[in-house]
Structure 1
Amino acid sequence: MSISLPPSFNYSLPQSKVFFIGLAGGADSGKEAFCRVLIEQLQKNQVVDSSKALLLHLHDYYREPTDEDRVRIASGLYNFDHPDAFDWDLLAQVLDDLKEGNVTRFPKFDFATKKRTFEARSKGLEDPNVILLEGIFALYSQRIRELLNMKLFVDVDDDARLANRVARKVAEVNPDPIDHILTEYVRFVKPAFDDFIQPSKKWADIIIPRGLENAPAMELITSHAADLLGRHQQSNSTRPSRMNSSTVLQEMMSSTPSNASSTCPSPRPISKSAAHSETASRSSLTSSPVPRKDVLGGLTDSLYKPVPE
């Protein structure tokens, strides 16, 4: 069965030789863990050296709180889950510096003191050629999206994310009371997901249901990155050493039942999200179909408010 991918699925490595991957998703959906496993897979398959991969966290780009902000923070009324809480200009500047190979300093936000410091690039890290940006609003700003070569969205159930949040918060050195965790979730976290994060899913090239549990998605992304970066997979891999994303998808679709032709008279192009749905079906017969990229296209402007560019 032949597969036709839309033109937007074809990427090209920028002249700067820096490949940017953005990973968005709701709070506590396992974005950072997914990125770290992705980096490990890229290294394992000889796509990138350990000194050439850099992981950036959007939460380090919170803007410095003003005195008025600090009063609201102390009273629990400051919303860290709103786009206005981030320093988008600083993030764009750091990404531009990395793209051009310029010397830059990385911010580090201390949640205990709510202060921001800066640190130079790690001595063990050479000029990176693969940079991952993870965060709830990684796909929110058009200015940032235009710098990304691959845009991913981890789609995890609301209840699972809330359970992860509670487990994480109560395991901290100074755990928050359960009622405080739930109040914060209802007041800030859930509305931010509904109003800003969920709508940004429409910008994703690949939607990843279940996050780290979705092994086929990880393999597809790794193979596609390997193809784009012009590297070879390890010789002992179970797949051919030179594998691109289209080949992976074709193999996944080859398991289609023989009677599929009776229900589907002729091959038709599929969207990236729909193709991913096929990969998910291999690991779970009960998994729900992945929404098309345009599934959120009908949202009203009141739900999606782009960052002023």
Structure 2
Amino acid sequence: MSIALPASFSFKLPAPRVFVIGLAGGADSGKEAFCRVLIEQLQKSQVIDSSRVLLLHMHDFYRELSDEDRVRVASGLYNFDHPDAFDWELLETTVEELKEGNASKLPKFDFATKRRSYQAWSKDIESPSVVLMEGIFVLYSQKIRESLNMKLFVDVDDDARLVNRVSRKVGEKNPDSMDHILTEYVRFVKPAFDDFISPSKKWADIIIPRGIENVAAIELITAHAADLLGRQPQAKSTRPSSSSRANTVPGSPSTVLQEMMSGISTTPSSPSSSACASPGPGSRSVPSKSALTHVEIVSSRSSADTSPAPRSGKDLLGGTTDSLYKPVPE
């Protein structure tokens, strides 16, 4: 028996939901490296398809610079570590389009020319099912936080981040002087972390001490993401075994995780050296495993979000204290 439908009947299946993971943390805390290792582990555990994941960098959303701004950049007085340096409207619009599957182009900021361009979305690439967005202010804006399905914060010691910054800056093609690097850090980077970035940590679902070194955190997040996506991860550990490393042919390609983790000790630290907090009321349940000694789980925040809405203010980028942006309320 068949049922005839009227010719005017039309039914469209809803577009697949895009799962957005936000990763915040201080400058030079290894956010991008952590994202790439996490993506690899999610793919290896078959939680996500390699063709359906997108890594989005918040630094590509710096706002267009005026002539006056360029003068300040040339003199080292422009603050790229302040919320006013970002085009929040473009970021919010892009994330919304990605979640709806309607993104047609993505911005790309060239740090050499300090100009922003756009990359057209290739028709050969499927719309992503998972988006990882990393950046220092990912958890600062209430509207951006509301679009995230999982909120992470990489918590790396200030001294370690400064060492990473100096190493990166002096290794560039046209390296800055040590005096310029330290002046920039003291004038812009450290105050931004204290006033805006560190306070936004309270909105994170998972806080990751030591960043990329925390192999147990990657395992826990992978399992938690699989739970939220309704998928069962394969039983694969992120820790590369000594036998697999020994059998690797010299010169053969290795995974990102093996390259970055092969020299890192995974011995659990003592309770005093690794923060751990029990989930509060209303928090999601997570897999119970020893990884909890490496990852701090904090309770989910209510929708009554009171952080200030992003606003523009040209004079704020020079490092003055009279800012439209105030530190995230406690």
Normalised by the length of structure 1, the TM-score is 0.75
Inter-CA distance 238–193: structure 2 relative to 1 (3 Å threshold): closer
Correspondent of 2:279 among 248, 270, 278: 270
- What is the deviation of 1:293? 6.3
Mapping 1:284-299, distance limit 5 Å: none
Shift of 1:290: 5.0
Q: Contact 1:18/1:99 (CA < 8 Å) preserved in 2?
A: yes
| SS of equivalent residue, structure 2 residue 198 | helix
- CA distance in structure 2 between the aligned counterparts of 1:204 and 1:292, rounded to whole angstroms: 7
SS of residue matched to 1:227 = helix
Q: Does 1:133 align with 2:136?
A: no
- From the superposition, tell whether residues 84 and 282 of structure 1 become closer, same or farther in structure 2 (CA, over 3 Å): closer
What SS class does the counterpart of residue 151 from structure 1 fall into?
strand
Higher helix share: 1
Q: Distance in 2 between matches of 1:307 and 1:269?
A: 32
**Other-structure match for 1:57:** 57
Residue 184 (str. 1) matches residue 184 (str. 2):
yes
Which AA in structure 2 matches 1:59? Answer: H
8 Å CA contact 2:47–2:231 kept in 1: the answer is: yes
> Does the CA contact (< 8 Å) of 1:54 and 1:132 recur in 2?
yes
Cα distance in structure 2, aligned partners of 1:124 and 1:194: 43
Gaps of 5+ in 1: 1-13, 240-267, 284-288, 295-300
Shift of residue 280, structure 1, vs aligned partner = 5.7
User: Shift of the alpha carbon at 1:292?
Assistant: 5.9
- 1:259 alignment partner in structure 2: none
Shift in alpha-carbon separation, 1:237–1:15, aligned structure 2, 3 A:
same
1:269 and 1:35 map into 2 onto residues whose CA distance is 25
**Structure with the greater alpha carbon radius of gyration:** 2
Give 1:104 shift. 2.2
**What's the counterpart of residue 28 of structure 1?**
28
| Matching residue of 2:169 | 169
Letter in 2 for 1:270: P
Q: Is the 8 A contact 1:60 1:108 kept in 2?
A: yes
* Percent sequence identity over aligned pairs: 67
1:101 aligns with 2:105: no
Change (3 A) 1:124 1:215: farther
User: For residue 322 of structure 2, what is the aligned residue in structure 1?
Assistant: none
- The aligned residue for residue 325 of structure 2 is none
Q: Does the CA contact (< 8 Å) of 2:219 and 2:237 recur in 1?
A: no
**Cα 1:282/1:195, change in 2 over 3 Å:** closer
Query: Would you say the 8 A contact 1:151–1:205 is kept in 2?
Result: yes
Instruction: Structure 2 unaligned segments of length 5 or more: list them.
Output: 1-13, 239-276, 301-305, 313-330
Q: How far did residue 71 of structure 1 move?
A: 1.1
> Where does 1:7-156 land on structure 2 (aligned, <5 Å)?
16-122=16-122, 125-156=125-156
Aligned to 1:247: none
User: Partners in 2 of 1:81 and 1:293 — Cα distance?
Assistant: 28
How many pairs align? 253
Answer whether contact 2:153 2:208 (CA < 8 A) is retained. Answer: yes
Q: 1:106 Cα deviation (Å)?
A: 0.5
Q: Is the 8 A contact 2:205 2:297 kept in 1?
A: no
Matched, 1:237 2:236: yes
* Cα distance per residue 1:56-98 (max 9 Å; x no partner): 0000000000111111111110000000000010011111111
Structure 2: how far apart are the matches of 1:308 and 1:116? Answer: 20
The alignment partner of 1:56 has SS state of strand
1:139 is paired with a residue whose SS is: coil
Provide the C-alpha distance between the structure 2 equivalents of 1:165 and 1:90, rounded to a whole number of angstroms.
Answer: 28
Number of the residue aligned with 2:221: 221
Q: How much does 1:28 deviate? A: 0.3
d(CA) in 1 for partners of 2:174, 2:106: 27
Q: Distance in 2 between matches of 1:78 and 1:269?
A: 41
The TM-score normalised by the length of structure 2 is: 0.70
